[in-house]
C-alpha cells in the first residue's frame, strides 16, 4: 500500500530538479501524477518513466489561460485532483540597483503569480475531490534576505504569506495549504554554485532533491493537522549565525 494511493497530484516544474524528485516519490507511493512544465521533452520522458497512470502537460504557470485545461485533463484522465505542488520557479540575478524591470517582473510572474493562479484554478477541483493539499515550494529566501536576488526573495516571501491566506480561505473545504522552505539543494538551478556556498552551514553540504520530496510527501500524506505552516529544511542555517560566542566577545 502506498501513502498516496488513489490521490491525483499535479506537480509544476516537474520535469527536473526538485519537481522531478517529488513526481517520482509520489508515483512510488501510489499517486497518479500530472507533470506540468515548459520542458516538454524532459517532462514527457519522466511521465513515461513513472509507470502507472502518469501524464505530462505543457504549462507555463505564469499564463492565466494555461491552467484550466491542465486541471481539466488531470481530472478527466486521472481522476479527482487532490494534490497540487506549486514547485515551478526561476532565479534571476541582480542587485536592486542593477536588475531590470523585465527580469524582476518575470521572476514574480513565475514564482508568485504562477502559484497564485495554480491555487485559484485548483481550489474548486480540490473541493470537488472532498478536500486536498496544496504545497507551495518557497525557499529559505522566503525567510531571510539574500543580496543579489531581490526579486526571488520578494517572490518567496510573498508566496509564504499567500500560503497562509490560502490556508485560511480553503480550510472550510478540507484543503490544507503549506509552504516548504529549502536551503541550497543540488539541482540545475544551483549548478553554478560551488561547495563554498554551504561550507559555513551547521550541515555543510547541499541538500538533495529527494530530501525535499520526502518532506513534500510528509505534508501531503501525513501532516493532517498542519495548514498555513512552514516546513523548513535548510541544513541548520536558520538555527543561528555560524560564529560561536566565547567569553572574549
Ligand atoms: P530547476 O531549475 O532545476 O527546476 C525548475 C523547474 O521549473 C524546471 O523544470 C523548469 O522548466 C520549471 N519552470 C520554470 N519556469 C516555468 C514556468 N514558467 N512554467 C512551468 N514550469 C517552469 O530548479 P529546482 O531547484 O528544482 O527548483 C524547484 C523549486 O524549488 C523552485 O520554486 C525553486 O525556487 C525552489 N527552491 C530551490 C532551491 C535550490 O537550492 N535548488 C532552494 C530553495 C527553493
**Residue 242: pLDDT band by 50, 70, 90 thresholds?**
confident
**Among all residues, which ones are annotated catalytic?**
152
Report whether pLDDT(249) > 70.
Answer: no
Angle, CA of 202, 180 and 73, to the nearest 5°: 145
66 lines ligand 1 (CB under 6 A): no
Q: Is 159 in the pocket of ligand 1 (CB under 6 A)?
A: no
Query: Where in the chain are the domains?
Result: 8-239
pLDDT in tens, 37-46: 999 999 999 9
Between the CA of 18 and the centroid of ligand 1 the distance, in Å, is 7
Q: Give the model's pLDDT for residue 248.
A: 76
* Options 3.40.640.10, 3.50.50.60, 1.20.1050.10, 3.40.50.720; CATH of 8-239: 3.40.50.720
Cα(242) to centroid of ligand 1, in Å? 28
The answer, yes or no, to whether any atom of ligand 1 lies below 6 A from the CB of 216, is no
Which pTM was predicted? 0.98
pLDDT tens readout for residues 182-206: 999 999 999 999 999 999 999 999 9
Cβ pair 28, 245 in contact under 8 A: no
C-alpha cell at 88: 515551478
Task: Dump pLDDT digits (tens) for 57-92.
Answer: 999 999 999 999 999 999 999 999 999 999 999 999
- The pLDDT of 102-118, averaged and rounded, is 98
In short, whether 232's Cβ falls inside 6 Å of ligand 1 is no
* Positive or negative: CA dihedral 234, 113, 117, 157: positive
Q: Whose CA is nearest to atom 34 of ligand 1?
A: 89
pLDDT at 51: 82
Amino acid at each position: 500500500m502506498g501513502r498516496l494511493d488513489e490521490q491525483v497530484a499535479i506537480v509544476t516544474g516537474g520535469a527536473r530538479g526538485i519537481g522531478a524528485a517529488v513526481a517520482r516519490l509520489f508515483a512510488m507511493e501510489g499517486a497518479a501524477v500530472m507533470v506540468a512544465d515548459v520542458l516538454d521533452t524532459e517532462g514527457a520522458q519522466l511521465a513515461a518513466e513513472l509507470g502507472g497512470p502518469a501524464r505530462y502537460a505543457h504549462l507555463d504557470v505564469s499564463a492565466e489561460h494555461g491552467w484550466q485545461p491542465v486541471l481539466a485533463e488531470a481530472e478527466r484522465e486521472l481522476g479527482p485532483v487532490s494534490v497540487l505542488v506549486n514547485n515551478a520557479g526561476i532565479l534571476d540575478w541582480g542587485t536592486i540597483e542593477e536588475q531590470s524591470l523585465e527580469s524582476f517582473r518575470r521572476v514574480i510572474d513565475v514564482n508568485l503569480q504562477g502559484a497564485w493562479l495554480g491555487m485559484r484554478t485548483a481550489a474548486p477541483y480540490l473541493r470537488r475531490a472532498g478536500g486536498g493539499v496544496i504545497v507551495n515550494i518557497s525557499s529559505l529566501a522566503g525567510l531571510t534576505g539574500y543580496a543579489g536576488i531581490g526579486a526571488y526573495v520578494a517572490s518567496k516571501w510573498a508566496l509564504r504569506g499567500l500560503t497562509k491566506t490560502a490556508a485560511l480561505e480553503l480550510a472550510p473545504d478540507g484543503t490544507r495549504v503549506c509552504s516548504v522552505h529549502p536551503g541550497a539543494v543540488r539541482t540545475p538551478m544551483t549548478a553554478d554554485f560551488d561547495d563554498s556556498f554551504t561550507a559555513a552551514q551547521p550541515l555543510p553540504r547541499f541538500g538533495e532533491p529527494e530530501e525535499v520530496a520526502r518532506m513534500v510527501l510528509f505534508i501531503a500524506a501525513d501532516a493532517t493537522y498542519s495548514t498555513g505552516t512552514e516546513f523548513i529544511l535548510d541544513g541548520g542555517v536558520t538555527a543561528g549565525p555560524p560564529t560561536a560566542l566565547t567569553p572574549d566577545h
